[in-house]
Amino acid sequence: MKLFAGNSNKVLAEAVARYLNIPLGQASARRFADDEIFFEIQENVRGEDVFILQSTSYPANDHLMEMLIMIDAFRRSSARRITAVLPYFGYARQDRRTSGRTPISAKLVANLITEAGADRVLTLDLHAGQIQGFFDIPTDNLYAVPVMARDVRTHNELANVMVVSPDVGGVVRARSLAKRIDAQLAIVDKRRERPGESEVMNVIGSVHGKDCLLIDDIVDSGGTLCNAAEALLNNGATSVTAYITHGVLSGAAFKRIAKSKLKELVITDSIQPTDEIRAVKNIRILSIADLIGEAISRTASEQSVSSLFD
C-alpha cells in the first residue's frame, strides 16, 4: 500500500499517512510556463496498491485535472490497483438536470475518473447519495456523522440539544445525528430565489430554549446557514452551532460567518482551510484524518468499510 497526495490538501494527506504509519509517497506535481500540469512519480509503484488523496476543491478544475493526470501516471506505471480518495467530491451539486439544456456534471466527472484508470473511489458525504451509481467502479461513500456525534458529546450538554436540518433535503442526515445523540429534530423551511441566495421562511418544530445544532454537507456562501441561525434564534433558540462536512466557504463567506449569530461553525478538513478561515474565532476545524485513514487501511486489507458507519 502506498499513499500519494495532490496539491489540494497536503495537510490532510500527511495526517492520514501518520495514522497509517507509512510515509507519504514521493511525487512531484508542477506547472509548465503555460500552466499545463506535469506530474512525475519519484519511486517504484509497480504492483502496488496505490491511494491518491485529492479534494477537488478551489480551484476545482485545476485540482480535478491534476488528479486525472496522477491516475493516468500510476496506471501507466503498472500500479496493481488505484483508489481515488476524494474527501471532497467537486461538481456533486450538479447531480441532475434542474432545467432544460443543462449538464449533469457529477456524472461527467465520474466518467473522467473511471476512464483515467481509477479502479475504485473513496469519498466523504456526497451531496447526493445516488452519485455513487454514476461510477462503474466500486465506490465507498463515508459519513462524517459518527465523527461529529463524538464531538457533539464532548462539547455540549445533550439534555438541551436539538438537531436541525437547514432544509427539507437534509432531513436524513440530520435524523442520523439526532438518533446517535438521542435528540429531537427540527427543520428550517426555506425558499431559494436564485442560486447562491436563500430566504428562510419558517421553522418546523419547537426550538424554544434549545441549543440547536444545524447539520449539513456543504457550506459555500454561508447565506443559508446564517439565515437559518437567525430564524432559529428568532424562534426562541438559546444558541445555534453548525456542523458542516465540507467548508467550501467561497469568497467572503468567512467574514459572513464571523459576523453571524452562529455560536460556532464546525467544519471538517476535507477541504484544506485557508489562513483566513482558521483565524475566524467562531470557526473550528474537526479532523477526519483517522476516518479516511481507517477506510484506506480496511480497503487495502480487504476488510469491511461499511462497519465504519456504525
Q: Is 220 annotated as a binding residue?
A: yes
Is residue 190 annotated as a catalytic residue, yes or no? yes
Cell numbers at residue 10, please? 497536503
Q: Is 275 annotated as a binding residue?
A: no
Count of CB atoms situated within 10 Å of the CB of 7: 15
Q: Is 182 annotated as a binding residue?
A: no
Count of CB atoms situated within 10 Å of the CB of 137: 14
Q: Is 54 left (phi over 0), alpha (psi -120 to 50) or beta?
A: beta
H or E element that contains 245: strand 239-247
Residue with cell 449538464: 103
Q: Is 94 annotated as a binding residue?
A: yes
Q: Is 90 annotated as a binding residue?
A: no
Q: Is 278 annotated as a binding residue?
A: no
Q: Is 136 annotated as a binding residue?
A: no
Count of CB atoms situated within 10 Å of the CB of 232: 27
Q: Is 167 annotated as a binding residue?
A: yes
Q: Is 54 annotated as a binding residue?
A: no
Q: Is 43 annotated as a binding residue?
A: no
Catalytic: which of 179, 190, 210, 281? 190
Q: Return the exposure string of 250-286: e unless at least 16 CB atoms fall within 10 Å of the residue's CB, then b.
A: eeebbebbbebebebbbbbbbbbbeeebeebebbebb
Estimate the share of the chain in helix, then strand, then coil, as percent rounded to the nearest 5: 35, 30, 35
Known catalytic residues are 190
Residues in the annotated binding site for D-ribose 5-phosphate: 192, 216, 220-224
Annotated binding site: 34-36, 93-94, 127, 167, 192, 216, 220-224
Which residues participate in the annotated binding site for Mg(2+)?
127, 167
For the annotated binding site for ATP, the residues are 34-36, 93-94
